[in-house]
């Protein structure tokens, strides 16, 4: 075979070498991708651990902060309650001062809830006392008086909820000065209680700004670690997709190499079989034996023993020479 020509086996070998080089490069790249993917996953796991630790601290801090807020809220509710009572008493005191300065006509025009209640109560007691003690009241007059009492009692029932809501004191009209003094004392007491609760609220609120700042810091840190976790996971997924695609290519090249090996093996087997066939003798090859048999049959007579007629004489002569 000329040197310029190459056998199929040589060409297949060269092609196989290229595929093996390509496969080696791809497997090396695949290994590198797996390492990078592992690094991203490790970074993501570390970020997740840090995030979880910070979130646990955040939850613990929120419990303390919520308890502190509830404490301050309760104190401020007490401040509001004392303040409302003080304002209510002071408002009634102003009404009583105005009653002292006003005339009866002005009193009827601008009667307060407490004043109206006490006046009606006094009138009801007076009418009831008259009905019980007087024996010369006509039936018609008595019915009118009873109707007046009934109407006054209805009005008193309407005023009762207002008195309770406004925490008005049912004053004794015969002792306005003493009532005003008592109300002033109660207003002062409510004001002092309010100031005490304000101081208590201020004391309880100390450090609240720092607690809020620390809460916001922990929240921001948790979000930061979570964002880092998500970013690393996304990178790992991107690398994983590339690795999967490269694995498909590796599998494809391995398939080509396998097909090439099978083709080369088939070529070698066929070549070896051809060489063996060419080197076989007539006794070893049925085809060669058949050709020889055909030639003998065409050129001479073949006896049953497998010899020609001309072959039978020579052995006989040789046998006579023997002693």
**Which one has a higher pLDDT value, 29 or 274?**
29
Would you say 168 and 90 are in contact if contact means Cβ atoms under 8 Å apart?
no
Q: How would residue 320 be classed by pLDDT, with cut points 50, 70 and 90?
A: very low
Angle subtended at Cα 141 by Cα 139 and Cα 144, rounded to the nearest 5 degrees? 110
Would you say 137 and 145 are in contact if contact means Cβ atoms under 8 Å apart?
yes
Helix axes 208-279, 8-101, angle to 10 degrees: 170
DSSP string over 221-245? HHHHHHHHHHHHHHHHHHHHHHHHH
pLDDT tens figures, 190-204:
999 999 999 988 888
* Predicted confidence (pLDDT) at residue 296 exceeds the cutoff of 70: no
Name the DSSP class of 138.
Answer: -
Across 254-285, b (16+ Cβ under 10 Å) vs e yields eeebeebeeebeeeeeeeeeeeeeeeeeeeeb
Residue 66 structure tokens: 């919520």
Q: What is the mean pLDDT of residues 102-107?
A: 45
Contacts with 288 (C-beta within 8 Å, 6 or more apart), sequence order: 280, 281, 282
Q: How would residue 285 be classed by pLDDT, with cut points 50, 70 and 90?
A: low
Rounded to whole angstroms, what are the CA distances from 2 to 6, 10, 39, 267? 8, 14, 56, 20
Question: Phi/psi class of residue 318: alpha, beta or left (left: φ > 0; alpha: ψ in -120 to 50)?
Answer: alpha
Which of these, 179, 162, 194, lies nearest to 76 by C-alpha position? 194
* Predicted confidence (pLDDT) at residue 282 exceeds the cutoff of 60: no
């Amino acid at each position: 075979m000329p040197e310029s020509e190459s056998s199929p086996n040589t060409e297949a070998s060269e092609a196989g070498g290229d595929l093996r080089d390509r496969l080696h490069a791809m497997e090396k790249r695949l290994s590198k991708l797996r390492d990078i993917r592992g690094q991203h996953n490790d970074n993501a796991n570390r970020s997740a651990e840090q995030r979880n630790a910070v979130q646990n601290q955040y939850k613990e801090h929120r419990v303390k902060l919520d308890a502190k807020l509830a404490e301050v809220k309760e104190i401020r509710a007490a401040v509001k309650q004392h303040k409302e009572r003080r304002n209510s008493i002071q408002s009634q005191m102003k009404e009583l001062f105005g009653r002292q300065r006003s005339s009866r006509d002005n009193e009827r025009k601008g009667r307060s809830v407490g004043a109206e209640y006490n006046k009606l109560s006094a009138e009801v007691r007076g009418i009831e006392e008259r009905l019980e003690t007087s024996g010369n009241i006509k039936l018609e007059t008595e019915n009118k008086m009873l109707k007046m009492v009934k109407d006054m009692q209805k009005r008193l029932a309407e005023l009762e909820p207002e008195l309770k809501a406004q925490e008005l004191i049912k004053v004794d009209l015969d002792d306005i000065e003493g009532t005003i003094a008592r109300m002033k004392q109660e207003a002062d007491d409510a004001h002092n209680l309010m100031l005490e609760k304000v101081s208590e609220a201020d004391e309880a609120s100390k450090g609240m700004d720092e607690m809020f700042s620390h809460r916001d810091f922990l929240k921001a840190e948790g979000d930061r670690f979570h964002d880092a976790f998500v970013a690393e996971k996304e990178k790992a997924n991107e690398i994983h997709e590339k690795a999967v695609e490269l694995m498909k290519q590796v599998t494809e090249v391995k398939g080509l190499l396998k097909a090439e090996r099978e083709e080369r093996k088939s070529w070698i087997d066929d070549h070896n079989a051809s060489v063996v066939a060419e080197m076989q003798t007539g006794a070893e090859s049925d085809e060669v034996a058949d050709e020889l048999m055909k030639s003998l049959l065409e050129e001479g007579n073949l006896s049953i023993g497998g010899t020609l007629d001309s072959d039978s004489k020579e052995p006989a002569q040789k046998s006579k020479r023997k002693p």
